[in-house]
Structure 1
């Protein structure tokens, strides 16, 4: 399965925008500088009291659909 490592730095308030219906997608930057877009619902499993901060591995199917998001390191 293809993957890309992304840095995510979102406050708790920014993460709550998804639950309020204000955010459908998350925009992040990969470690190699590419812009990456993935579904905001992916944050549900990883959001904490302070939001989401750290390096994550974004995995997707061969046709480019989101599959999983796993923490590699977090702050």
Structure 2
């Protein structure tokens, strides 16, 4: 399955906007500089009290659909 590593830094308050459906997608950058968009509901799996901070691996199906988010490092 294709994957890409991204950096995400969102405060807890910013995550609430995603959590409550205010935003459908998260826009960020990969480690190699590409722009990446993935479903905001993926953040529910990795949000902590201080928000979402670190490097994450996003895994996609061969057809390009988001499947999984995995924390690689905490920043």
TM-score range relative to shorter protein: over 0.9
Aligned CA-pair RMSD: 0.7
**In the alignment, which residue of structure 1 is the partner of 2:13?**
13
Q: Which runs of 5+ in 1 are unaligned?
A: none
Instruction: Name the TM-score, length of structure 2 as normaliser.
Output: 0.96
1:24-50 CA distance string (max 9 Å, x none): 100110000000000000011100000
| Moved >6 Å (runs of 4+) | none
TM-score by length of 1: 0.96
Number of corresponding residues: 75
Gaps of 5+ in 2: none
